[in-house]
A and B are shown apart, each in its own frame.
Chain A
Amino acid sequence: MAEPRIIIVGAGPSGTRAAQACVAAGLRPIVIDEARRDGGQIYRRQPDNFTRPYAKLYGTEAGRAQVLHETFDGLKGAIDYRPETLVWNIAGGHVWTASGTVQKAMPFDALLLCTGATDRLMPVKGWQFAGAYSLGGAQVALKSQAVSIGHKVVLMGSGPLLYLVASQYVEAGADVAAVLDTSPFSARVKALPDLLAMPSVLWNGVALTRALKRAGVAVHLGVTPVEIMGDAESGVSGIRFRTGSGKEETVRCDAVAIGHHLRPETQLADLARCAFTFDAGTRQWLPERDGDGRSSVAGVYLAGDGAKILGARSAEASGRLAALAALADLGLPVDKGEMTSLRGDVANYAKFARGLARAFPWPSAQAAVLPDDAILCRCEGVTAGDLRGVMRETGAQEANRAKAFSRVGMGRCQGRYCGLAAAELIAAESGVPIEQVGRLRGQAPVKPLPIAIGDET
């Protein structure tokens, strides 16, 4: 039998560990990644000519980042690595890639989707102004290019990334005007039993908040964002919010980063026609998979935060586990004992992730009260009032129907940034349970594709 063709999409923690397992089994997997360098988002590597040390770039995660990067560097001769390459579609047993304007269709026997996550965003009035970023975007600016998103920065939302980005900005010498956390302290107390599944990570989180306090950064818990102030000409000028006790306050700033934890990048799983189910805990639709990462489609495996948000450490374990499952399915020998142990690790990370979701809840109710004049879909410039008006006129109560009539989610991000909030708004407005609102159908290309694309000449 010819060597099985394994394609891994993504070179972050789960993709790297998946590739390592395939190489150890004597195979040469294809690893396709959109980025210029490996590492994914959380362990994003700086450009070649940048020389900041690991401790400076990754803080408490420096050791893990370094080991992961060295692992990938060690694999380079043994894998077919294709950086700066977009998988824009999956069909007919092939992944369809674009590297600039050069297209290629590659067949696979096993496909491991290690596609990672993006910020989960709750729109705030004014979030379309220049100077408004996602927390992940703010972190990319710092890690990749060593720049801050502004002179005076506010970080707003909830989730571990809020504190990580804040501390990284403080550490890098940026002026952090405030950290505005929408989750109340009480949520953290309730989440403590699950968070104790990973005491060291919990401790890192506590240490981050203490360091922010020591640095004199104002941290507000239980806030409600009211508005990102500014105008189309000069961008962000400040943040209006209500404190936990209901008092309205204003912070001046010229940039803001927002986010409420993360959402998985599931479009490729969707294009591969994997089945999805609604996850009530995170109020998201997630691709179905068994405990080892097998999707509902034979030969397609899902790992890391691209399948469900369980964090970078879990991504390493689930990437390796999914690769072992793929190898076993291809009839290659695998260490069953190791698979059992990896399953245990992933289960423990899942407990911790449940705690994080509880500690930093998605403020779904904010979508319901988003003012009519607030932009909901930034790509298409559709306001919350536009969507409500379309619903009243047409009776649309389903995500794709509302998209067809209102354009929400029809733009270049295909609803990856506004889709979850739009679904919450539709559910609140129509009184339909969120799971009945459904999920936006994914369409190729998952990211914009040049019309100039063609075969290599």
Chain B
Amino acid sequence: MSGAMSAASDVIIVGGGLMGSSAALFLRGHGISVTLLEADLIGRQASGTNFGNVRRQGRGIHQLPLANRAIAIWRRSRELLGADVEYLQSGHIRVCYRERPELVGSMEEYAAQARAEGLDLELLSGNALRDKFPFFGPDVLAGSYSPTDGHANPRLAAPAFARAAERLGAMIHENTKIVDAQKVGEDFIVTAADGRTFRAPTLLITAGAWGNALSSQFGEPVPIVPRGPNMSVTEPVPYAILPAVGVMTPIEEETVYFRQVARGNIVLGGSTRGPSFPDQYRAYVEPQNTLSQLKQIRRLAPSLGKLNIIRVWSGIEGYMPDSQPVMGPSATTSGLYYAFGFSGSGFQIGPGVGETMAEIIAKGGTDIPMGPYQIERFAAG
């Protein structure tokens, strides 16, 4: 399509991942008209290719109010979305290894702070863990069990939010790559590569790793780095592992995690992240990363060494230097909002981000603490 067709709505959202799709749904709940623009297909990159942890534990304490808001949405996702996104509140365990006994103290401290935010964690010794979850290897020293965390299917989640938003009247345009955004008078005018333009007084950028290309147009560049997560999946085996499992460690290579889906396949993730190619909308899993991931998985759960992986995949995630997203209003331009750069940990909080951004746009504020996410922290000088 070409020409200067100009479509008007109250809000334009650029980026159809989980953040943008859920924001569209909740904005419709406030009765606000929404146009959601996605360069590729809904939920194809970070939102669709991540591990699928619906995990609160391990997040910064300041992020727990947002995570708590999100968990309430995950729990009613089936009714809200009219679709099954395979959400299971089947627990999450974070473990540390014998080489790092000091992490047990960190786990205890975290658990005490988390309890004040409404997240109850149970600390278990390695042997107690192995009694309960016999797949853990001898290197596991201790663990923190969060019974109310769990997992969901990333391939299904963002598209289900977008379909629900569409049913409530959101206008969704896929294959619509935005090349220019500017504020002209009271309105933002957003132009697609094929020349179509969209107009609205409010603009929300939820473009993930591509967010900087748009924030820069408003004088707010951010040091975002695109990277690809490293995922694998095994052949299906009888369903026996309920909680999602991950390693707490300062060493990137050791940070592996796994979960079993009800169908029986075990999804493996983590270890070193790979390069990605935002211009091509592709990220590749480097073979050496797969090998280091499998080695670390054998250490965490030696019995998984008897299985085969049948597929690997990656996607494009946007990482910020402090691992905190850019979220909230622009510092330069009124009516402009951001929610991107979730640094590989946006899936669980995604629906909470959407609800919070919709609240900020509809009501002018929120009780959720937003300080750590302000874009001004990257302002030059």
Q: A residues engaging B (CB < 8 A)?
A: 88-89, 91-92, 94, 96, 103, 105, 380, 393-394, 398, 401, 404-405, 407, 410-412, 414, 443-445, 448-454
Name the residue of chain B whose CB is nearest to the CB of A450. Answer: B308
Contacts of A89 in B (CB 8 A): 287, 290
Check if B290 sits within 8 Å of A444, measured CB to CB. Answer: yes
Pairwise interchain contact B310-A412, C-beta atoms closer than 8 A:
yes
Q: Are A444 and B287 in contact (CB under 8 A)?
A: yes
Contact A451 B305, beta carbon cutoff 8 Å:
yes
- How far apart are A407's CB and chain B's nearest CB, in angstroms? 8
Q: Taking the nearest CB of chain B, how far is it from the CB of A252, in angstroms?
A: 33
A151 to B290, CA, bound (A): 44
Chain B neighbourhood of A443, CB < 8 A? 285, 311-313
Can you identify 7 A-B contacts, CB atoms within 8 angstroms? A92-B287, A94-B287, A411-B235, A445-B309, A451-B298, A451-B308, A454-B291
Scan B147-161; emit 1 where CB is below 8 A from any A CB, else 0.
000000001100100
Contact among B234, B285, B288, B312 for A451, CB-based, below 8 A = B234
B351 CB within 8 Å of chain A: no
C-alpha gap A393/B286 in the complex (Å): 35
Q: Mark B123-160, 1 if CB is under 8 A from A, else 0.
A: 00000000000000000000000000000000110010
* Residue B107 CB within 8 A of the other chain: no
Asked if residues A394 and B286 are in contact (CB atoms below 8 Å), the reply is no
Report whether B294 and A451 are in contact in the complex, using a CB–CB cutoff of 8 Å: yes
Smallest Cβ-Cβ distance to A454: which chain B residue: B295
Instruction: Give B271-298 as 1s and 0s: 1 = Cβ < 8 Å from A's Cβ atoms.
Output: 0000000000000111110110011011
Contact B290 A451 (CB under 8 A): no
Q: How far is the CB of B114 from chain A (nearest CB, A)?
A: 32
Cβ contact within 8 Å between B234 and A445: no
List of B residues within 8 angstroms of A410 by Cβ: 311
**Interface residues on chain B, size class:** 20 to 34
Inter-subunit contact A448/B309 (CB<8 Å)? yes
Contact bitstring B68-89, A, C-beta under 8 A = 1, else 0: 0000000000000001000000
- The residue that A448 contacts in the complex, of B41, B298, B310, with Cβ under 8 A, is B310
Chain B residues near A450: list those with CB within 8 A. Answer: 305, 307-308
Query: What residue of chain B has the Cβ atom nearest to residue A449's Cβ?
Result: B309
Which residues does chain B contribute within 8 Å of A411, judged by CB atoms? 235, 310
In the assembled complex, the Cα of A454 lies from the Cα of B48 at a distance in Å of: 29
Contacts of A398 in B (CB 8 A): 41
Whether the Cβ atoms of A445 and B155 lie closer than 8 Å is: no
- Expressed in whole angstroms, the Cα–Cα distance for A394 and B159 within the complex equals 8
The A-contacting residues of B in range 248-289, CB under 8 angstroms, are: 263, 284-288
Nearest first, the 5 A-B pairs at minimum CB distance are A448-B308, A96-B287, A452-B305, A404-B155, A412-B310
Q: Does B320 contact A (CB under 8 A)?
A: no
Given A394-B163, A405-B155, decide whether A444 and B234 contact each other with a Cβ distance below 8 A: no
- B284 contacts A91, CB within 8 Å? yes
Chain A proximity of B179: nearest CB distance (Å): 23
Q: Are B285 and A444 in contact (CB under 8 A)?
A: yes
Query: How many angstroms from the CA of A450 to the CA of B298 in the assembled complex?
Result: 11
Q: Which residues of B contact A451 (CB under 8 A)?
A: 234, 294, 297-298, 304-309
Which partner residue on chain B sits nearest A398 by CB separation?
B41
CB atoms of B156 and A105 under 8 A apart: no
Within 8 A of A (CB), among B45-96: 48, 83
Q: With a CB–CB cut-off of 8 A, which chain A residues contact B304?
A: 451
User: How many Å lie between the Cα of A312 and that of B169 in the bound state?
Assistant: 57
Cβ-defined partner of B159 (8 Å) among A88, A103, A405, A452: A405
In the assembled complex, the CB of A128 is this many whole angstroms from the nearest CB of chain B, namely 15
In Å, the complex CA distance between A398 and B284 comes to 21
Give the residues in chain B near A91, CB-CB below 8 Å.
Answer: 284, 286-287
- Distance, CA A437 to CA B273, complexed state (A): 31
A414 near B311 (CB under 8 angstroms)? Answer: yes
Q: Chain A CB within 10 Å — which of B163, B235, B285, B290 has the most? A: B290
CB-CB under 8 A from B41, the residues of chain A are: 398, 401
By the criterion CB–CB under 8 Å, are B311 and A453 in contact?
Answer: no
A229 to B83, CA, bound (A): 35
**Please, which residues of chain B bring their CB within 8 A of the CB of A407?**
263
Contacts of B298 in A (CB 8 A): 451-452
Q: How many Å from the CB of B307 to the closest CB on chain A?
A: 5
Least distance between B306 CB and chain A CB atoms (Å): 7
Chain B residues within 8 Å of A405, by CB: 155-156, 159
Residues on B with beta carbons closer than 8 Å to the beta carbon of A452: 294, 298, 305-306
Q: Which residues of A contact B285 (CB under 8 A)?
A: 443-444
Q: A453 contacts B294, CB within 8 Å?
A: yes
Say yes or no: A448-B312 contact (C-beta < 8 A), given A89-B287, A103-B291, A401-B41: no
Chain A residues in 8 Å Cβ range of B235: 411-412, 448
Among residues of B, the one whose C-beta sits closest to the C-beta of A444 is B312
A412-B310, A445-B310, A449-B308 are known contacts; what are 6 more A-B pairs with Cβ within 8 Å? A89-B290, A407-B263, A414-B310, A445-B309, A449-B309, A451-B297
Query: How long is the Cα–Cα vector from A188 to B196 in the complex, in angstroms?
Result: 52
CA distance A450 to B263 in the complex (A): 20
Contact with A along B293-332 (1 / 0, CB 8 A): 0110110000011111111110000000000000000000
B155 to chain A, nearest CB (A): 4
Q: What's the Cα separation between A404 and B298 when bound, in Å? A: 28
Decide if A404 touches B291 in the complex (CB within 8 Å). no
Find the A residue at minimum CB distance from B43: A404
* Cβ distance B152 to chain A, nearest Cβ, rounded Å: 14
Bound complex: CA A91 to CA B274 (Å)? 13
What's the minimum C-beta distance from B349 to chain A, rounded to whole angstroms?
22
Q: Which residues of A contact B286 (CB under 8 A)?
A: 91-92
Chain B: minimal CB distance from A415 (Å): 10
Complex contacts, A449 vs chain B, CB 8 Å: 290, 308-310
Q: How near does chain B come to A210, taking the closest CB pair, in angstroms?
A: 44
- Alpha-carbon distance A180/B287, docked complex (angstroms): 44
How far is it, in angstroms, between the C-alpha of A437 and the C-alpha of B156 when the chains are bound? 20
* Nearest CB in chain B to that of A455: its residue: B291
Contacts of B83 in A (CB 8 A): 393
Q: Which residues of B have CB within 8 Å of A414?
A: 310-311
A88 to chain B, nearest CB (A): 8
Closest chain A residue to B286 by CB distance? A91
B288: chain A residues within 8 A (beta carbon): 105
Q: In the assembled complex, which residues on chain A have CB atoms less than 8 Å from the CB atom of B306? A: 451-452
Q: For B309, list chain A residues within 8 Å (CB).
A: 445, 448-449, 451
